[in-house]
Amino acid sequence: MKAPKYYRKYGYRLSLLPNDYLASLEEGVNSIESALKKTGFSIGYPGWGLIYYLILCHLKPDNENIIIETGTNWGSTTIVLGQALKDSGYKGKVYTIEIDPANHKKALYNLNAAMLEDYVCLIKGDSRLELPRIMSEFDEIRVAFLDGSHLYDDVIFEFDIIYPLLTEQSIVIFDNTYQIAEEHEDQRVNGALRYIQKRYGGNIINLEYVSWYTPGIAIWQKSPF
């Protein structure tokens, strides 16, 4: 693997965060080590702001907005997704999947403390099993944030499962897009995005100076117009 890169920011105005509880967790955070103790393996700021405004500007006023997340971890970014849905005033729900029982328990506590339990459905399980079940309940996904396993095959599996429910305007967000892998290693999210673009086409915007090891957030959309 290539050397780590970190683009998570510290020392910013906590009032820029969309949720007061999340802001309280960031108090005193000034390093990766302290961030991990407070919010877990999360994208941090300014990634949270990016996700919040992206979702807020993309939800449909006259439809039920289904938001899918894999890899809840401690629920920090889930809080941002839920807050965007709440602040939009539109109908919808965030469905987030976490495989680790300890992380699931921590995320449940955080989401309740953030007062977003009515906007988020937290599912404990493997996305390979849970995503197909969730997909069978809906006709359309407005937003997906695929941030569970970052291995190539797992990313492709999750995308393949949600693809039939993506409209021309639906967006899929990926974290950890930097090409961290050497040529002989699993190509992870970066390689999966190259495959997705080759197989499915669409448009990808990659924002490389956000998040931390591995940095980069990408946004995929089938056809904006």
For 57-86, b/e burial (b = at least 16 CB within 10 A) is ebbeeeeebbbbbbbbbbbbbbbbbbbbbb
**Domain spans in the chain, listed from the N-terminal domain onward:** 14-221
pLDDT in tens, 196-223: 999 999 999 999 999 988 899 999 999 9
Which CATH number fits the domain 14-221, given the four candidates 3.10.129.10, 1.20.58.100, 3.40.50.150, 3.40.50.20?
Answer: 3.40.50.150
38's CB contacts (< 8 A; 6+ apart) are 25, 26, 29
- Of the pLDDT bands very low, low, confident and very high (cuts 50, 70, 90), residue 3 is confident
pLDDT in tens, 127-185: 999 999 999 999 999 999 999 999 999 999 999 999 999 999 999 999 999 998 888 99
3-class state of residue 177 by DSSP: coil
pLDDT in tens, 55-74: 999 999 999 999 999 999 99
The answer to whether 171 touches 54, Cβ cutoff 8 Å, is: yes
